Structure 1
Amino acid sequence: MPGINDIKKPIAADIDAFEEKFKTSMQSSVPLLDRITHYIVKRKGKQIRPMFVFFSASICGGINESTHRGAALVELLHTATLVHDDVVDNSYQRRGFFSINALWKNKIAVLVGDYLLSKGLLLSINNGDFNLLKIVSEAVKQMSEGELLQVEKVRRMDIDEPVYYEVIRQKTASLIAACCACGAASAGADEALIEKMRLFGEKIGIAFQIKDDMFDFGTDDVGKPLGIDIKEKKVTLPLIYALSNSPSAERKRMINLVKNHNDDPVKIMQIINFVKETGGLKYADSQMKKYQAEAFEILNTFPAGDARTGLEQLVLFTTERNK
């Protein structure tokens, strides 16, 4: 599988230009804010979401200035949600770096998140990109609803497959769907094509989250520590399948372990082994591949070319990664 730098080659110039514009979009007259936003920019990830925006625009008509603003809008709102998430989760690290709240405390982190949200809104409003703003705002709304639905269900421990898919569709897939829809809309695509790209992104997002949930139970070359979701009492697809395909007594025992012994490393390993032995990981992998295949079905309706190849490679990169 090609590396991320190989995938972005056809749009490398656009990504470079985007990174400069993204830095500019976060500038402020407040020195403290500038220090914090500089820290955020320095630790940015692989730019997967902007790449989805650019390749989607390219396959739907072409990249233009609106595409660059759409990519910046997505990144600003996404970054804001991450800053707020770290406060909510009392998380002090992200991607191996200290989180904003770890370095500057919760009050400043919340205000920085609010600032980034406002910059994204103003970027769209000042340039008349109301269609892009609507797409991304809907995604942020769904992300919030997905988080709250998960919190509610975790308390009751009553997550089944339909609820699980609804949570990850809202929480994770909605933003990747918005990236693809924004790219299409920025290129001047009609409503039918925008919806087609949104659905493509949604399927990738679901496959991405299933893959991420599998890491909690251990796969080859795991980059995520084992049992993090179990410690947070998150019931994900591998565990849902294992519980629903076990005798009643075993199911009750495992639910009790998740509820009451989720901070005991020995008990966590019992849950992980239970999921593996009951076929939870294999089932989750088969479902991930199903959504991956459905995304490819949509993509294959477009003409061959750099944009389609780039999106194909991005799908593989996001769903077959090892961490």
Structure 2
Amino acid sequence: MSATIHRLGSERPPSLEPMLELVAPDMNLVNAVILDRMQSDIPLIPELAGHLIAGGGKRMRPMLTLASARLLGYSGARHHKLAAAVEFIHTATLLHDDVVDSSDLRRGRRTANIIWGNPASVLVGDFLFSRSFELMVEDGSLKVLKILSNASAVIAEGEVNQLTATRRIDLGEERYLEIIGAKTAALFAAACRIAAVVAERPEADELALDAYGRNLGIAFQLVDDAIDYVSDAGTMGKDAGDDFREGKMTLPVILAYARGSDSERVFWQEAVSGRRAADTDFAEAVRLIRATRAVDDTLARARHYGQRAIDAIGGFPNGAAKDAMVEAVEFAVARAY
């Protein structure tokens, strides 16, 4: 197959619009499945699920399923239900995450657990997980079921890994990458890979799309973790400093701690343990992270993984789908600028 080498850093600001336009007709059908399958005779279920699903998210993960199918020239309809299953898995994990993290904001709106309480959020998350597996079973492919069920298990493992790593100042970069590779990148990878299964393409194409999604997911999370220290709630959809106050050892903190003086390392030890969580402490954390170039280097790593994602689909034919998928990577990295 012919290949074009793409590089991050073009002059025009990257946008998600090409991908949105590419998948728009398919996404309308996916949204119809989502709306239908989140219904229940128990009114609280569609009310709570709808609050999050309609909360302004870009549907990045199901879009990746649809774009990957388009990249492969797939003309069937199986990917619509499977993209909806991917979105249900993602939404369920968000509901559970917000309970675990005691989050107040999600995409700039109050979280479901704040409005309806933790028990309702957990149970509706369970409902959406169940709906996702119904959609997988209806598709009838054991391979698809294996890919998505494995991703669901890996996500849960990643969340537990992160939970046990919370407030651990000794967390290193290797374990951090292991955590985000599981809790974020696994679903990106699976969302892309299943398109090759429904299109009945060889395993090499599956693995290429898996690598694209996995590296994009890591880049995406690296940027998220960086902008927690350089952005605000209006930009991020969550309160700036949430990760800091929750004692999460994200890469900016790992790098700043490793590069800090003895007194700065004492500050980080106290902050991560929860003893320094005031607004003035967060301001000091931001100062130290900037002084040690921790955000710059976190974003440099994001660009590295973004380039790996782009390279992974280099062997597929050129066209609108490939261009949109490349620009989606560039957009994911550029969100911090």
TM-score (normalizing by structure 2): 0.88
Contact 2:167 2:272 in 1 (8 A): no
Output the CA distance in 2 between the equivalents of 1:318 and 1:293. Answer: 12
Gaps of 5+ in 2: 1-12
Structure 1 residue aligned with 2:264: 250
* 1:108 maps onto 2:120 in alignment: yes
Whichever residue aligns with residue 270 of structure 1, its letter is E
Structure 1 residue aligned with 2:154: 142
Contact 1:139 1:178 in 2 (8 A): yes
Over residues 251-299 of structure 1, what are the superposed CA-to-partner deviations in whole Å (9 max), with x where a residue is unaligned? 2343223324332211221121111111211211211111111111112
Measure how far apart 1:172 and its partner are: 0.9
Over residues 32-90 of structure 1, what are the superposed CA-to-partner deviations in whole Å (9 max), with x where a residue is unaligned? 43433444443251121111001111222414221112101101111111112222222
Contact 1:172 1:209 in 2 (8 A): yes
Gaps of 5+ in 1: none
Of 293, 304, 313, the residue aligned with 2:318 is 304
Aligned positions of 1:1-323 closer than 5 A: 1=13, 3-218=15-230, 223-224=235-236, 225-322=239-336
Over 3 Å counting, the alpha-carbon distance change for 1:28 and 1:170 in structure 2 is same
Structure 1 residue aligned with 2:6: none
Contact 2:19 2:321 in 1 (8 A): no
Output the CA distance in 2 between the equivalents of 1:96 and 1:61. Answer: 37
Whichever residue aligns with residue 264 of structure 1, its letter is A
Over 3 Å counting, the alpha-carbon distance change for 1:74 and 1:289 in structure 2 is same
Over residues 81-124 of structure 1, what are the superposed CA-to-partner deviations in whole Å (9 max), with x where a residue is unaligned? 11122222223432222333233222222221111111111111
Q: How many percent of aligned residue pairs carry the same amino acid?
A: 33
Whichever residue aligns with residue 30 of structure 2, its letter is F
Over 3 Å counting, the alpha-carbon distance change for 1:84 and 1:221 in structure 2 is closer
Contact 1:230 1:258 in 2 (8 A): yes
Output the CA distance in 2 between the equivalents of 1:124 and 1:289. Answer: 33
Output the CA distance in 1 between the equivalents of 2:158 and 2:102. Answer: 19
SS at match of 1:261: coil
Output the CA distance in 1 between the equivalents of 2:53 and 2:263. Answer: 51
Measure how far apart 1:3 and its partner are: 4.2
TM-score (normalizing by structure 1): 0.92
Residues 51-60 or 241-250, more deviating: 241-250
SS at match of 1:263: coil
Over 3 Å counting, the alpha-carbon distance change for 1:129 and 1:28 in structure 2 is farther
In angstroms, what is the RMSD of aligned CA positions?
2.2
Contact 1:58 1:187 in 2 (8 A): no
Over 3 Å counting, the alpha-carbon distance change for 1:101 and 1:243 in structure 2 is closer
Over residues 155-211 of structure 1, what are the superposed CA-to-partner deviations in whole Å (9 max), with x where a residue is unaligned? 432111111111111111111111111222222122222122111111111111111
Report which structure shows greater RCO (CA 8 Å, sep ≥6): 2
Whichever residue aligns with residue 92 of structure 2, its letter is A
Whichever residue aligns with residue 158 of structure 2, its letter is G
The number of residue pairs the alignment matches comes to 323
SS at match of 2:230: coil
Residues 73-82 or 83-92, more deviating: 83-92
Output the CA distance in 2 between the equivalents of 1:160 and 1:38. Answer: 38
Output the CA distance in 2 between the equivalents of 1:220 and 1:270. Answer: 16
Output the CA distance in 2 between the equivalents of 1:122 and 1:221. Answer: 36
Over 3 Å counting, the alpha-carbon distance change for 1:56 and 1:39 in structure 2 is same
Contact 2:231 2:240 in 1 (8 A): no
Contact 2:72 2:199 in 1 (8 A): yes
SS at match of 2:117: helix
Over 3 Å counting, the alpha-carbon distance change for 1:43 and 1:268 in structure 2 is closer
